[in-house]
C-alpha cells in the first residue's frame, strides 16, 4: 500500500479533533499499545483526498 505524506499541522489538527481517540473503537491513545494512525475515510483509490475532513485516527492493524 502506498503511503501518502500528511503535513504535520494537518496531523495535529486531526488528532486534536479526534481528542486522540480511535475513530472506530474510541480507545484513547494512552490505552493503545502503538501510535494511532492517520487513515483516509474515503480511500485515495476511491477518489478521496488528503484534506483534513477526509482523515481520522485508527488503531494500527
Element (H, E) at 55: strand 55-58
Q: What is the pLDDT of residues 20-50, one digit of tens each?
A: 999 999 999 999 999 999 999 999 999 999 9
Nearest to residue 56, comparing CAs of 3, 6, 2?
6
pLDDT at 5: 84
- What is the C-alpha to C-alpha distance for residues 24 and 33, in angstroms, rounded to an integer? 16
**Residue 3 scores a pLDDT above 70:** no
Backbone angles phi, psi at 39, to 5 degrees: -130, 150
Query: The C-alpha cell of 41 is what?
Result: 475515510
**Residue 1 scores a pLDDT above 70:** no
pTM to 2 decimal places: 0.83
User: How would residue 61 be classed by pLDDT, with cut points 50, 70 and 90?
Assistant: confident
DSSP line for 6-29: --HHHHHHHHHHTTTB-TTT--BG
Amino acid at each position: 500500500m502506498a503511503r501518502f505524506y500528511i503535513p504535520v499541522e494537518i496531523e495535529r489538527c486531526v488528532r486534536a479533533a479526534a481528542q486522540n481517540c480511535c475513530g472506530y473503537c474510541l480507545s484513547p491513545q494512552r490505552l493503545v499499545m502503538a501510535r494511532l494512525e492517520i487513515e483516509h475515510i474515503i480511500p485515495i483509490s476511491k477518489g478521496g483526498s488528503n484534506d483534513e475532513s477526509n482523515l481520522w485516527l485508527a488503531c494500527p492493524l
